[in-house]
Structure 1
Amino acid sequence: MPRPILATVHTAALRHNLDRVRRAAVDARVWAVVKANAYGHGIERVYEGLRGADGFALLDLAEAERVRALGWRGPVLLLEGVFDARDLELCSRLDLWHTVHCDEQIDMLAAHKTLKPQRVFLKMNSGMNRLGFAPERFGSAWTRLNALPQVDEISLMTHFSDADGPRGIAHQLEAFERVTRDLPGERSIANSAATLRHASQTRGDWVRPGIVLYGSAPDFPQHDTAHWQLQPTMTLATRLIGVQQLKAGDTIGYGSNFTADGPLTIGVAAVGYADGYPRHCNTGTPVLVNGVRTRMVGRVSMDMITVDLTPVPDAKFGAEVTLWGRSAATGAVLPIDEVAQAAGTVGYELMCAVAPRVPFAPADE
């Protein structure tokens, strides 16, 4: 029998979160962002829950081929555009839209021989300073693209660096609107945080939610998933494979960095950093045992963690342990953001880091 660890993707929660985005961005079309294998969930596993979106946005051609293989005939957007001139041939064959963020990509388009003009999203670097044309160069890039017979419609986009924080979006929004005011084309500027926190300013024609679709708050800890009415789309769960009775002075695990100050019952759960559970979690990291909140104690090992069974004294060998997501035993939810905070990281990383050795259950409803 395999180890009891299992990841589950919740289709109904994906639909719920997509609907939450639509309620925040009324009248805008929605890109469901499925880059990084749908934030670790698996493109094929999330497809049914997200097929109500208006398009799928992702990074590379292999992901685009997988979306098309599932039967999707609507828009597909390459968020970083093409990486090589040969990619444009597949863009034509798969009918992909793609981002243009640098002169080299315009050069590739200009040299591309095609009978079918391509839809592009011209990206402005409005202040994040990763990809895109600086505001003072954006107009000339648009003019050059617009003159190419290889280009059909040009949409305009940018990406916010601080939509989730106190600095906000005003400085970037001003730059984008000032430069694009007289340019035609659809707009796409809102990521997850902008869609929820700045909807009236950033709605545009398309919004690009990512992390909110997967049940993580984009501005945690200022707001949690309950505030934004989001549901967890991934549950990582395992079971107890041992129980130990400790007395005062006993230590736990490598480094003996937890010492019992009195009698203590601990459970040993079959999960560790080789499964993608963050090694930087330490004593106090929340877990659920049979749906009851308790804490991890000691260090994360390669294949095991230890948990305090004081709040759930009846837990025995085989008891359910929820690392994040929804307990099958009680329906209680442990938000992934809380576990990520204990590890000094973000929910995005935990989702994407689930190890290949962890089996996924078939997506449920």
Structure 2
Amino acid sequence: MPRSTVARIDLDALRRNFQTARSRAGGAQVMAVVKADGYGHGIGPVASALDSLAPKFAVACLEEARAIREAGLVKPVVLLQGVHAKADIDECARHGFEPVFHSFQQLAWLEQLEARPVFWLKVNTGMNRLGFHPDELNGVMGRLQTLGVDQGLLGFVTHFACADDPESAMTAQQTSVFERATSAFPGLVKSVANSAAHFRPGQPMFDWSRPGIMLYGGSPMVGTTGRELGLEPVMSLEAPLISTRLVPAGESVGYGASWLADRDTRMGMVAIGYGDGYPRHAGTNTPAAINGQRIRLIGRVSMDMLAVDLTNAPDAKEGDSVELWGRTVGVDEVAACAGTISYELMTGITGRVPRQYR
């Protein structure tokens, strides 16, 4: 019999979070970002659950776009990272994928092909990862028009560097740069808004927003949890309590003897560890829950197990299910304790943890 460590995925909560994104997008249409295997939730089931709501999907790469087609879905799919070879462009044309072109090499590939997909151009407004500099944009557009390639151009995208920080002025600066760079092309659509942009008062949303982490219940904003933003957790990571014992005062638990009991403490071992994707750096006092009672981790997380203090759950017994994050303990709380973000936690759950959908 397999262990009962599992990630339970609430697809109704996913759909409600999408509705929240749509309500905060103003007049913009909303494409659902399902990259990184649906942020660790399973790209096929996630996209299928959103298919009746989202007019487009967005992924990072071609492999993820293929997974959506393999799930039997036919909606347009935006490739946010564009393509990595000329042959990829032909595949985009055949399967309704919309690559975002960000380099002159990609444009050269496009010009060499007869069959061309519809596509987007990325504008580098200050994040300095990918995209054409605003000063290059008029030249790029002229090149596309001269070669007759511009007919497939849908519009422009950019990406915000600091939208998660309400104190930063950079998002307003990037928005202004984007507006100036694209103002000469009013007939083309525009997309700027990641999840965080949906929670910035007064932020222009343009034509298409691109919510990602908020669909899965994680917070896109610094210092704020998803629950505080009105989002519902979609993933509940659970594992069984497989052992309990009384640790006498002065004795330790786990590798490195990093935790010492300051009093006699009832301790439990949980069948999950960093081999399952639970963060190794989540140390003592990271919250968990059992039977609705909040408890805490103690000592180091090992590959297959972690220890919890059962003082607040005196009735807990072997076989009970421990929630590592979900409805009682928010994933953002665990991420803060581990010195990371909810994005990394959810996408990091490994393949040995089965996903169960409801």
For normalisation by structure 2, the TM-score amounts to: 0.95
Q: In structure 2, what is the Cα distance between the partners aligned to 1:249 and 1:142? A: 71
Q: In structure 2, what is the Cα distance between the partners aligned to 1:67 and 1:146? A: 32
Preserved CA contact (<8 Å) 2:247 2:264? yes
Preserved CA contact (<8 Å) 2:273 2:302? yes
Structure 2: any 5+ residue segments left out of the alignment? Answer: none
Q: In structure 2, what is the Cα distance between the partners aligned to 1:301 and 1:201? A: 44
The CA deviation at 1:183 is 1.2
Q: In structure 1, what is the Cα distance between the partners aligned to 2:260 and 2:303? A: 20
Preserved CA contact (<8 Å) 1:191 1:208? yes
Q: In structure 1, what is the Cα distance between the partners aligned to 2:146 and 2:198? A: 33
Count the aligned residue pairs: 353
Corresponding residue number in structure 2 for 1:183: 185
Alignment of 1:1-365 (within 5 A): 1-51=1-51, 52-114=53-115, 117-151=116-150, 152-165=152-165, 166-168=167-169, 169-184=171-186, 185-198=188-201, 200-221=202-223, 223-326=224-327, 333-361=328-356, 363-364=357-358
Q: Could you tell me which amino acid in structure 1 is paired with residue 81 of structure 2? A: E
* Root-mean-square deviation over aligned CA pairs: 1.3
Q: In structure 2, what is the Cα distance between the partners aligned to 1:350 and 1:256? A: 25
Look up the SS of the partner of 1:20 in the other structure: helix
Q: Which moved more, 1:40-49 or 1:254-263?
A: 40-49
Deviations 1:184-243 (A, max 9, x none): 300101101012224x4321110011110111010142x221221101111110111000
Q: In structure 2, what is the Cα distance between the partners aligned to 1:265 and 1:224? A: 30
Q: In structure 2, what is the Cα distance between the partners aligned to 1:154 and 1:146? A: 14
The CA deviation at 1:118 is 2.5
Preserved CA contact (<8 Å) 1:215 1:230? yes
Q: In structure 2, what is the Cα distance between the partners aligned to 1:96 and 1:345? A: 32
Preserved CA contact (<8 Å) 2:48 2:73? no
Preserved CA contact (<8 Å) 1:122 1:142? no
Q: Could you tell me which amino acid in structure 2 is paired with residue 315 of structure 1? A: A
The CA deviation at 1:295 is 0.5
Corresponding residue number in structure 2 for 1:330: none
Moved over 4 A (4+): none
For normalisation by structure 1, the TM-score amounts to: 0.94
Structure 1: any 5+ residue segments left out of the alignment? Answer: 327-332
The CA deviation at 1:86 is 0.5
Q: Could you tell me which amino acid in structure 1 is paired with residue 246 of structure 2? A: Q
Q: In structure 2, what is the Cα distance between the partners aligned to 1:70 and 1:255? A: 46
Distance change (3 Å), C-alpha of 1:5 and 1:71: same
Q: In structure 2, what is the Cα distance between the partners aligned to 1:224 and 1:138? A: 38
